[in-house]
Amino acid sequence: MKLPINWLKDYVDIDVDGKTLGDALTLSGSKVEGLENPFDILKNIVTGNITKIEKHPEADKLQVCTVEIGEAEPIVIVTAATNMKEGDTVPVALHQSTLFDGSEIKKGKLRGILSNGMFCSEEELGLKEKGTCDGLMILPLHTPAGKDIKEVLGLNGGILDLEITSNRPDCLSILGLAREVSAVYGTTLKKPDLDFKSQKKDVDPVKVSIDTPLSRRYMAREVVDVVIGESPDFIKSRLLEAGIRPISNMVDLTNFVMLEIGQPLHAFDKREIASGHIRVKEAAGGEKFTTLDGNERTLREKTLLIMDDNNIIGLAGLMGGLDSEIKEDTTSVILESANFDGVTIRNASSYLNLRTDASTRFDKDIDPNLAELALDRICHLIEKLGIGKVLDYTVDVYPMRREPNQLAVSTEYINGFLGTDLSSQKMADILNALEIDTKVDGDVLEITTPTFRNDLFIKEDIVEEVARIYGYNNITPTVPHVNAERGGRYPYQILRKRLENSLVAQGLYESISYSFISRKDLQKILLPEDSPLRNMVEIRNPLGEDFSVMRTTMISSMMESLARNEARSNEEASLYEIGKIYLKNESPLPEEREILTVGLYGKDLFYHLKGIIEVIIEEFGLTNISYERADHPSFHPGKSAHVLLGKKKLATFGEIHPKVSQNYNMEKASYIMELDLMTLYNAAVTEKKYVEIPKYPSVTRDIAVLIDDAVLVQEMEMIFKKQGGSLLESYTLFDVYKGKQLPEGKKSVAYNLVYRNKERTLTDKEVNKVHEKIVRTLEHMLGAVLR
């Protein structure tokens, strides 16, 4: 947002230089990016009064002019211009002057007569675009001679370039920034004049319909007897300082009021509204429309359109149509002052690549109540400048009025928050200066926020307003008075920390990977096409194909880590990662599961990996644990297993399928375990119970049986637990043998069984009875043969 300081002074009385003003605005929250004055390049150009004009004796197309330039002696200027006359006052570039384009002017002879400089056009002063001037710039009557042209035209003030945050669209206007300046410096804000006299005329009023909730308000007025021409100098200079080139008086006024008030306006040639009915509706998609800049654009759905009954005449909030622009012969104009949904305008501006001053304001959700203020202001200027006559009807379609917000904040809270000691009245004065209506009721501020401040909702917002206008630099830094207590970890955090400590104690190093992967990773770990794990959450704006979906398994992430270690010539690796997988379900958001993944390579590590699981099971006090062969496609068949907690699957572990290792260019076998942490945490027994040391001795028995190779030792252990009853204290597998001495398809399994009675010493008879029962059951259930 460009803020011409000369224009600012129309609304607030200040006498400070641009840098001081910029620093004050920055401290109050309106960040100033820079201070510039594009007209500083103009040097040694003054006003001159032409007192005499004679033809050049040696050139028919040249004229010799005598010019008064103030107290100095009159000078002679030789010129080819023809649009001046004696008595006119014009800009004169004297000897060693500089024009807007950087050209240097020096005195010199033209056909034998010394010219002490040159007369200037608006183009040479930077007031018009190249090729748009017909002659010299003729200044108003009674302009004094010898004055610096920048002073006369109001081009001396600097221009502040401000970065306005998206929550402050009210500052995208000269008036809004003037309000900030008046609050900072404690001066009175001068409001622009809005009065005008409407005219009665027998015409059919234009009709307006809003056919979409994306248009919040639409106002229209008609101006007749319009005379299109150039704008007066004060309008043109204000626009030029703000970076907008003047076009014609009616168009210039819409831009002037937009910059002044912050509400975009548009002027339609009434002849182009053939039906006399303006409709605001959404595009169906695919329509083509040529905008004022001459570009044909293809529209998408939900683009807001301004139409008559049959044709598009403008893109709402962006730009009018080529056919509806103001022309030299325009005599009747429809003024539009409307408000549209910010997100819709922003989306349309983006896909059409059409960024305008209007869209910059609309896409920040400006106040719908500005529409009437801006419409009154432009009507006042039209009447004041004699451009046309405003008719006495106003169309105002306003389906849902924006109302002020009500707040009550105690001064004690504000002072406590800021560490200040401001009075209630001081705070009220600050807020009222910002046009935030505030009344003092004891220690409470009763606040009504203006509708143009749609960023004030909670009491902290009010604290910020008081602080930034009072001055952050005026607030003494203090240390907050707080009672700090060290909080403990949540139960979930405690369990996770115990798990991490256990894994690190077993020699594992933590690995961290991205939660997003590529669909190709699922092919590398051999997941079939119909696997539910292929139903993945897609990322709308991925960094690339390799990061386009959220992972549903962590096997691929761990394989990447293991492969990277092997590629860097690490002989072995022992890694773990605690992360999340994302599973699609019927709700809008995916189910997030926290998973522990352990990855190993280096040698035959199947039982080492199983040992890690057993340590975790013991650490968390899990019981009712069993194993079953795994059928996971990523694992080696026959060298993998599921760990069951009751009937729930707790984990899957084993050697990775050789084809998966090949897909990751790994030479050594990899071993991976995936464990569902929520299942682990929910079943964890963290309470430690004291068990008294046994008073009575134990009795041990070894048992070795010959069983089929397909029989799992787990099946034997289930028989031990069931038949051993309360007397069987523990059992330990100490030998599994296969060899030539045994029949084909058989194996020898040996256990050590410990019996104990906590109340008395066991007898051999009691032990033998239970032990024989176990042996008989093994023979009957598993076909075991006692060795």
* Known binding-site residue numbers for Mg(2+): 455, 461, 464-465
d(CA 365, CA 360) in angstroms, rounded, equals 10
Closest by Cα among 6, 8, 32, 4 to 19: 32
d(CA 774, CA 722) in angstroms, rounded, equals 9
Q: What is the DSSP letter of 321?
A: B
Q: What is the DSSP letter of 547?
A: G
The residue written with tokens 């990322």 in the block is 539
732 has which bridge partners? 752
DSSP per-residue codes, 116-157 = -EEE--TTTTTSS-TT---SPPPPPTTPPTT-BHHHHTT--S
Helices (H), 158-289: 174-185, 233-241, 249-261
Q: Are strands 699-708 and 591-601 parallel, antiparallel or unpaired?
A: unpaired
Cα dihedral 137→142→145→151 (10° resolution): -70
Cα dihedral 766→767→771→776 (10° resolution): -20
**In this structure, which amino acid lies at residue 358?**
A
d(CA 529, CA 116) in angstroms, rounded, equals 88
Q: Are strands 43-55 and 63-68 parallel, antiparallel or unpaired?
A: antiparallel
Q: What are phi and psi of 767, to 5 degrees?
A: -65, -45
Do residues 373 and 389 make contact, with C-beta atoms less than 8 angstroms apart?
no
State the binding site. Answer: 455, 461, 464-465
Closest by Cα among 719, 740, 737, 736 to 728: 719
d(CA 205, CA 203) in angstroms, rounded, equals 6
Joined together, the tokens standing for residue 382 give: 């039209």
* Three-class SS state of 628: strand
d(CA 79, CA 575) in angstroms, rounded, equals 88
Closest by Cα among 701, 716, 780 to 748: 716
d(CA 214, CA 658) in angstroms, rounded, equals 59
If one counts every other C-beta atom within 10 angstroms of the C-beta of residue 117, the result is 26
The residue written with tokens 């046309």 in the block is 388
Q: What is the DSSP letter of 536?
A: -
**In this structure, which amino acid lies at residue 243?**
G
d(CA 303, CA 284) in angstroms, rounded, equals 8
Q: What is the DSSP letter of 1?
A: -
Joined together, the tokens standing for residue 586 give: 């019927």
